[in-house]
Chains A and B, each alone.
Chain A
Amino acid sequence: AQSVSQHNHHVILSEAASLELGCNYSYGGTVNLFWYVQYPGQHLQLLLKYFSGDPLVKGIKGFEAEFIKSKFSFNLRKPSVQWSDTAEYFCALFRGSQGNLIFGKGTKLSVKP
């Protein structure tokens, strides 16, 4: 069955710390992966996406993610977080045969100023 797992429920960091949020997926078809972010009081927004090609994907606001096929992973990284990165982060898999996204449960990131 297709699924997305995010193992970290809540991550607390100080400003300038490095960030890595884990995402693992299970899917037998062509992999299209996304990271979405939800800032407090706002709607879901796309951070970055992977379709094919270079497995290292760069997104907005200094975020990047690396697709590692052998590990079924698509971890999100940022070298130095800011207080404004406080948000909930969702990894999602596009289920190509159906047209919808399968989301992980999300990781809440709290950045202390």
Chain B
Amino acid sequence: GAGVSQTPSNKVTEKGKYVELRCDPISGHTALYWYRQSLGQGPEFLIYFQGTGAADDSGLPNDRFFAVRPEGSVSTLKIQRTERGDSAVYLCASSLPGLAREQFFGPGTRLTVL
């Protein structure tokens, strides 16, 4: 079956621009997670959705970052006024409902801010 998909695979933008990153989870997975992975680091949690609502957004670094999941399926991570420090691989994962379920990861979007 289809796994988690993310688009675009690569995004190059200029400092100060706005970007949107998309995640399409596995069908039937109600939980969706966004992580950010910088070079030489493990993935760091950003935000977690259960259905349409953000159950935990404590990992978002500041108010330039925002994510939505309006219909409980596809999610979009939005970054305003991008900074060079935002350059990283943004990972999306999804899972079935329930605690400590296996999270299935997508291939990620590599964001480069020039």
Tell me the total A-B contact number using a CB cutoff of 8 A: 64
The tally of residues in A whose CB lies under 8 Å from a CB in B reads 25
Please, which residues of chain B bring their CB within 8 A of the CB of A73?
A: none
Say whether, besides A90-B42, A99-B50, A43 and B106 are in contact (CB < 8 Å): yes
Q: Is the CB of B108 within 8 A of A43?
A: yes
Q: Categorize the interface residue count of chain B.
A: 20 to 34
Taking a contact as CB atoms closer than 8 A, the residue among B55, B56, B105 that contacts A44 in the complex is B105
Say whether, besides A43-B107, A44-B105, A98-B56, A103 and B100 are in contact (CB < 8 Å): no
Q: Is the CB of B102 within 8 A of A94?
A: no
Please, which residues of chain B bring their CB within 8 A of the CB of A106?
A: 41-42
Q: Is the CB of B48 within 8 A of A103?
A: no
- B residues engaging A (CB < 8 A)? 3-4, 31, 33, 35, 40-45, 48, 50, 55-56, 58-59, 91, 93, 99-100, 102-108
- A residues engaging B (CB < 8 A)? 4, 6, 32, 34, 36, 42-46, 49, 51, 90, 92, 94, 96, 98-106
Q: List 9 A-B contacts (CB under 8 A).
A: A44-B105, A45-B105, A49-B102, A94-B99, A94-B100, A98-B56, A99-B33, A100-B56, A103-B43
